[in-house]
Structure 1
């Protein structure tokens, strides 16, 4: 059995902790996105007499996706900083400096930033998609509850 030194254990904790948390955040973002899409697909604007209540229903949980999208890169960056710190500790504790181990340590540290971006970019896309969908549904509510007095060609607008 190979004995691990302290830096290796810290590196694994950082890797699994940061990457595990980012995976958790991506699952949460996907879950909220699918739940919101289901709500938007099944919502009936005619049942809402007050537009403010409809807005509350439509915007529910959107801040979760926005928060994940805006903070995931920072969580990844934090993992990268920890990984680089561990690599520097390894460099300082060894009398002989091995270039290969330095490069491997730095590249493994950078994967946390990449993972943060992989979580953040789709989350922001999902958020913008859902926000646009709420605007469309609110416009449909306006059309339903405030019909125009005269429409020249109602079949022209296929929503």
Structure 2
């Protein structure tokens, strides 16, 4: 229990920090890719769609699971708080409230990672839809000219 007590915050915030870094990296990578993609050069719609949607699943996974990582940290923090209270044989409400408040910071951090991740994911999916629509319109225009 002492090991968990000593390293819980480092583990939870380390994982959430890594998730946030990866989410930001994917967001910037996709943003710059979408700005430079030459969608007119793709021979088939599905090849374009595969290229455009690369890494978006990872961004969605981070957004969906960051609150759970934070919640796990909160639950473990609460367990540690109750364990310490049980070992001390006293019911100090100040200690209980402090332990619970400190445990909740993990959930807040998880939500703070999840909200922007999902916002970025939705924005990037919208950009994929726009580029796909432009590609289909270009393909339809070529077919009209050849007819």
- What TM-score bracket applies, with the shorter chain setting the length? over 0.9
User: Higher Cα Rg: structure 1 or 2?
Assistant: 1
CA offset digits 1:60-96 (Å, max 9, x no partner): 0000000000011111110000000000001100022
Q: What corresponds to 1:40 in structure 2?
A: 34
1:101 and 2:95 matched: yes
> CA separation in 1, counterparts of 2:90 and 2:76?
22
Q: Does the aligned pair in 2 maintain the 1:68–1:123 contact within 8 Å?
A: yes
Runs of 4+ in 1 over 6 A off after TM superposition: none
RMSD: 1.5
Q: What corresponds to 1:63 in structure 2?
A: 57
1:89 and 2:89 matched: no
Unpaired runs of 5+ in structure 1? 1-5, 151-159
Q: What corresponds to 1:154 in structure 2?
A: none
Q: What corresponds to 1:121 in structure 2?
A: 115
Unpaired runs of 5+ in structure 2? none
**SS of 2:76 mapped into structure 1:** helix
**Equivalenced residues, count:** 144
Shift in Å, 1:146? 1.2
**SS of 1:147 mapped into structure 2:** helix
